[in-house]
Structure 1
Amino acid sequence: MTKKNHYVEEGFRKRRNRFITVTFLLAVFVLTLSIAMLYLGNTRYSLSVIVRVLMGEQIQGASFSIRTLRFPRMLAGIMAGMAFGMAGSTFQTMLRNPLASPDIIGITSGSSVAAVFFILVLEVNTTVASIASILAGLLVACLIYVLSRGASFSGGKMILIGIGIQAMLNAVISYLLLRANQYDVPAALRWLSGSLNGIQSKDMAGLFWTVLIFGGLLFLLGRQLKILELGEHSAITLGLRTNQTRVLLVMCAVFLIAVATSVTGPISFVAFLSGPIAGWLAGKGISTILPAGLTGAVMVLLADIIGQYAFDTRFPVGIITGILGAPYLIYLLIRMNKSGGAA
């Protein structure tokens, strides 16, 4: 083995060990926050009681609080956080731009418009509104992708088109809220703020399987995603079928975003922040899809605990993540402006 090969293998081993360590610590953090969400509340139960209830034992008071209220809320926080984090990291890596997050380029807004329209105008049940929001998110994503193709795919064009479509969709949401019956508006606003309130076990099956299937596909496509990050010409030179790979990645990420949004609403900035944080923690050279998903879960769980128990008034999780994400967006825009557009 030459000295050069030794250094290459040593560098790869260090990056892999760092990736494994960070992923493990993030998983432990998610588990700790999950236990905290099951423990905290108006009545606090011991860990042994929580375990007994989750194992199926009926305990008066505790069974309803833990199994019906707290456990679905905790599970929704984990699954939605992972969905937003993995999807956001996928778009940011594929388009090589930290601004290329689904909640920045309009995909989340597409789901939001459909849900608000069905809630306020058609006054249908939440199941129908959820299905409509999923289909609308997919439709908007396809529209953005088709408009950005042209002679060849352009990530910058996709971001600009997405930002424009997002502005238009946000205007539609504002119009629907202004024209709606004032008694229906609070329900729509609660959904738009991004919240884990009122989540039930029956709402979780679709989100769970979506994260398991499409999140798993994104994890398996991590190597191809890193090749795409090198640029179109380099990826083609390395033998990657860029168009097919990009379509598959986009579809997986959009399904994650659309289904998660249909359950919890558009939780602000989780998709935007998870990828950069995971990249900073896990380092470069290895796909950060899984760490980004765990980072998203940590953000949602932690923000929900803060929103529920840190203030006199209880705030939806999306309010807290919005407060955390807005300063980073401003910082990122200033940094890109100083560097002439390079993040």
Structure 2
Amino acid sequence: MVRGGGVATRLRLRTALVCAVIAALAMVGTVWALMLGAYPISLSQIWAALIDGPDAGFARTVVVDWRAPRAVAALIFGAALGASGAVFQSLTRNPLASPDIIGFSAGSFTGALVVIILIHGTYLQLAAGAILGGIATAAAVYLLAWRRGVQGFRLIIVGIGISAMLGSFNTWLMLNAELEVAMSAAVWGAGSLNGTSWDQVLYGGTLVVLLLAGIAGLSPGLRQLELGDDVAKATGIRAEPVRLGLMVLGVALVAVVTAAAGPISFIALAAPQIARRIARTPGVTVAPAAVTGALLLVAADLIAQHALPVVLPVGVVTVVIGGAYPVWLIIREVRRGSPGMSRSVPAPVEGARP
């Protein structure tokens, strides 16, 4: 028992250290984003803009009003996507399970798109539409995947089908919208932090913190569900209510990001697996995934703004960089479970370690 306790303590210390280092790197990237641009800003000017207020002059306008909302949004929304991906990969015990793969991001996009095109709603209406669309999609996927419980591989397959259907519906909506509205929705739909305001950061950040607190409260149940429903029930966990609550919280995190910045792909997919390998944890954990997601989105936004000849939506960068990731992951899981090609693909993916 002492030895096991010592191992657990070392794992927790290593995880905490990794989280601290990744969070520090994300903060460095955020400060760097405040410095770079057509009007360069030094660290002393950033400090003066934050401390001196209006006395800092034009530097305060550049830092506080123009650059800071986008930089802080990348930090917060990246953490939300990473945490959401960790929840779904842990629940399904499958590294391919993420909101953008199994259709929940597409459902949030559909809900927000309906608000944009049909009622030209405000940000709060957009957020409500995204959350309702995501939850409705999650409910449909959950019910269609149910067969004496929800299996991870079945959930992914059903989610991919629902995502394809919603993608077609979203395309139809934009084709039938007014030209200006459709163009605006298409740019936003690529996943963009351009034009992010402090109101979006305030409302979105508050919701993200509340949702992360809810996930933290259910995290003991999440750990037990990783061992299987039978083990979880034997330890007093009500498997289906806990799973459903975690799914709702995970979908809501994605919906908040989608309402503010559009669907940003691959952060939720890649961040949990990258964090697990860096922290060397036995499974996917939410805290390392959240800080890794924050770092990934901050880095992707820096690339989108400053590393290319033209400024691109951050979603384009995450798609280009992350497009090869699921291919590599599928190949890796198939090879791990089957040395040859005689075994079908679903078997090793279903049994994949988190």
Shorter chain as denominator, the TM-score bin is over 0.9
Contact 1:39–1:45 (Cα < 8 Å) also in 2:
yes
What is the CA-CA distance between 1:242 and the residue it aligns to?
0.8
Q: Which amino acid aligns with 1:304?
A: D
Report the counterpart of residue 271 of structure 1 in structure 2.
268
1:326 to 314, 323, 328: 323
Aligned partner (choices 302, 306, 310) of residue 313 of structure 1: 310
- For 2:218, the equivalent position in structure 1 comes to 221
The residue that corresponds to 2:24 in the other structure is 28
Task: Tell me which residue corresponds to 1:205.
Answer: 202
Q: Which moved more, 1:302-311 or 1:38-47?
A: 38-47
**What is the aligned partner in structure 2 of residue 120 from structure 1?**
117
Q: Distance in 1 between matches of 2:52 and 2:334?
A: 56
Supply the distance in 2 between the matched residues of 1:209 and 1:130 (Cα, whole angstroms).
13
- Once the two structures are TM-superposed, the CA of residue 223 in structure 1 deviates from its matched residue by 2.8
Match of 1:48 among 44, 50, 73: 44
Aligned counterparts, 1:1-343, within 5 A: 5-55=1-51, 57-58=53-54, 59-285=56-282, 288-338=285-335, 339=337, 340=345, 341-342=348-349, 343=352
In the alignment, residue 300 of structure 2 is paired with which amino acid? A
Contact 1:107/1:137 (<8 A) preserved: yes
Please, which moves more after superposition, 12-21 or 148-157? 148-157
Residue 37 of structure 1 aligns with an amino acid whose one-letter code is A
How far 1:243 moved relative to its partner?
1.5
Q: For residues 250-306 of structure 1, what are the alpha-carbon distances to aligned partners after superposition, in whole Å with 9 as ceiling and x for unaligned?
A: 121111111111111111101111110111111224762111111111011000001
What is the Cα deviation at residue 140 of structure 1?
Answer: 1.3
Alpha carbons 2:103, 2:137 under 8 Å: kept? yes
CA deviations over 1:39-80 (Å, ceiling 9, x no partner) = 111112221221222235112211211111111111111111
Query: Please, what TM-score do these two structures have when normalized by structure 2?
Result: 0.90
Report the Cα distance in structure 1 between the residues aligned to 2:84 and 2:27, rounded to whole angstroms: 21
Preserved CA contact (<8 Å) 1:206 1:259: no
The runs of at least 4 aligned residues of structure 1 exceeding 4 Å deviation read: none
Provide the C-alpha distance between the structure 2 equivalents of 1:123 and 1:13, rounded to a whole number of angstroms. Answer: 52
Matched-pair contact (CA < 8 Å) for 1:266–1:318: yes
| Aligned residue type for 1:168 | M
Deviates more, 1:130-139 or 1:299-308: 130-139
Distance 1:287 1:167 in 2: 27
Give the drift of 1:307. Answer: 0.9
Structure 2: distance between partners of 1:183 and 1:285 = 49
Q: Measure how far apart 1:206 and its partner are.
A: 2.0
SS at match of 1:112: helix
How far did 1:14 drift? 2.2
Range with bigger deviation, 288-297 or 232-241: 232-241
Structure 2 counterpart of 1:68, which letter? D
Aligned residue identity for 2:43? L
- Unpaired runs of 5+ in structure 2? 338-344
TM-score (normalizing by structure 1): 0.93
Q: 1:143 and 1:130, CA in 2 relative to 1: closer, same or farther beyond 3 A?
A: same
- What is the number of residues matched between the two proteins? 339
Report how far residue 232 of structure 1 moved.
1.3
Instruction: Verify the 8 A CA contact 1:282 1:288 in the aligned structure 2.
Output: no
Give the secondary-structure state (helix, strand or coil) at the position aligned to 2:98.
coil
Identity of paired residues, percent?
A: 32
What amino acid is the match of 1:67? Answer: V
Deviation at 1:93, TM superposition (A): 0.5
